[in-house]
Amino acid sequence: MENKKIYRNWLDKMELSHPLVIAGPCSAETEEQVLTIAHQLKDTDANVLRAGIWKPRTKPGNFEGVGALGLKWLQRAKKETGMMTATEVANATHVELALKHDIDVLWIGARTTVSPFIVQDIADALKGTDKIVLVKNPVNPDLALWMGALERIHTADIDKLGAIHRGFSTYEKTKYRNNPEWQIPIDLKNQLPDLPMICDPSHIAGRRKLVFDICQTALDLNYDGLMVETHHTPDQAWSDAKQQVTPETLVQMMIDLKVRKKATSSEDYLQKLSLLRANIDVLDEKLIDIMGQRMGVSDQIGILKKESNVSILQTNRWNEILGKMILRGEESGLSEEFTLKVFKAIHQESINHQKKVINK
């Protein structure tokens, strides 16, 4: 995007006293359901009512949404409660129908973001509109693909633009439905500092008991808002029942969540922070030195393997290291997920070093 800058005046103009909150059911199921949830959310901190009308599902045969009929339910909810409305659009036809029914916020889902062709079709259909458009991260951790989708929408003269972080698929089993990979949205914010960032804790969590902590992490990282799936009877929901919370739970969450100050001019705080950051800098330099030394040993191992005509990958040795380091990490207060990521990266770099030595 030109000058890598997107203006966030649409969010600033809302003059909110708290982060933006988008709430509502995963799927619009019936008119009664949509209206019931809308009225329960009306006097809460929720600013926007969300509901999935078209639901892209992994497998055929699952509930795929009520279709355009649900847009009329959102229209009625908007009229009765005054709340803004939001839904996902996955093609140009969805855009046209959503605009026809005066939906305020359109979001592009993770499965759609991965296809530049479809995103371009949506961008073309949006051209000339004044709606808010939010782009979810792609299913897989690919920052360039996420930025490309945002750029396509921005090039269509859409200035009311934002990003939604909903986590990333991984073949590794974690406690999350979609691994948050917090560094990727942080990198996006560094590239586009004026881009509003919304967290979708429901799709990251997959389980409602994790939603609060994910929301708090997002707010601690200065996210601009939250999109929380909310259902009056979540256990009976037609889709994603396990990750939806009740409106009552949402209200309590909004009370319990802490919104941090972005900065403070307190001299005591700044002095203590400066000292701690200096310690971090020293430790980081030591880490790099140690990593360099470790890779030097890997080079020596590569030479030995080359001389003995032995393959690079030694699975038993790798599993032994991994198991030992996970236990050692836990003793040092490090999560298994973190230790796995770090040592997989170290192992890959070690393999790369040995390949270079063997292929000389």
DSSP per position, 40-62: HHTTSS--EEE-BSS---SSTTS
Shared-domain flag, residues 107 and 145: yes
Phi-psi region of 335 (alpha: psi -120 to 50; beta: other; left: phi over 0): beta
The least confident of 12-26, 83-97, 168-182 is: 168-182
Shared-domain flag, residues 313 and 351: yes
CA–CA separation, 352 and 291 (whole Å): 14
Is residue 108, in this structure, part of any structural domain at all? yes
Sorted by sequence, the CB contacts under 8 Å of residue 349 that are 6+ apart come out as: 291, 295, 298
Shared-domain flag, residues 188 and 294: no
Is residue 302, in this structure, part of any structural domain at all? yes
Summarize the confidence of residues 83-111 as an average pLDDT. 97
Amino acid, single-letter form, for residue 129? T
Is residue 141, in this structure, part of any structural domain at all? yes
Shared-domain flag, residues 240 and 291: no
The least confident of 26-30, 297-301, 335-339 is: 335-339
Residue 133 per-residue DSSP state: E
The pLDDT assigned to 60 comes to: 74
- pTM of the predicted protein model: 0.86
Contact yes or no for 108/135 (Cβ under 8 A): yes
Contact yes or no for 174/337 (Cβ under 8 A): yes
Q: Which of 221, 256, 291 is the last residue of a domain?
A: 256
The pLDDT assigned to 6 comes to: 64
Q: Which of 236, 256, 276 is the last residue of a domain?
A: 256
The pLDDT assigned to 242 comes to: 96
CA–CA separation, 148 and 155 (whole Å): 10
Phi/psi at 188 (5° precision): -65, -45
Q: Are strands 197-199 and 161-165 parallel, antiparallel or unpaired?
A: parallel
Q: Which of 319, 320, 339, 342 is nearest to 331 (CA)?
A: 339
Shared-domain flag, residues 55 and 180: yes
Summarize the confidence of residues 313-322 as an average pLDDT. 91
**Residue 7 above 80 pLDDT?**
no
The pLDDT assigned to 1 comes to: 63
Shared-domain flag, residues 78 and 107: yes
Q: Which of 256, 289, 310 is the last residue of a domain?
A: 256
Is residue 261, in this structure, part of any structural domain at all? no
CATH number at residue 230: 3.20.20.70
Summarize the confidence of residues 207-215 as an average pLDDT. 96
Question: Most distant CA pair in the chain: distance in Å?
Answer: 78
Overall number of domains in the chain: 2
CA–CA separation, 357 and 310 (whole Å): 13
Instruction: Provide the 10 A C-beta neighbour count for residue 207.
Output: 12
**Residue 226 above 60 pLDDT?**
yes
Shared-domain flag, residues 171 and 320: no
Sorted by sequence, the CB contacts under 8 Å of residue 297 that are 6+ apart come out as: none
Shared-domain flag, residues 143 and 222: yes
**Domain of 210?**
2-256
Contact yes or no for 31/77 (Cβ under 8 A): no
Shared-domain flag, residues 21 and 88: yes
CA–CA separation, 71 and 343 (whole Å): 49
**Residue 2 above 70 pLDDT?**
no
Burial class (CB in 10 A: 0-12, 13-18, 19+), 199: buried
Shared-domain flag, residues 239 and 284: no
Is residue 262, in this structure, part of any structural domain at all? no
* Tokens 């279709």 found at: 67
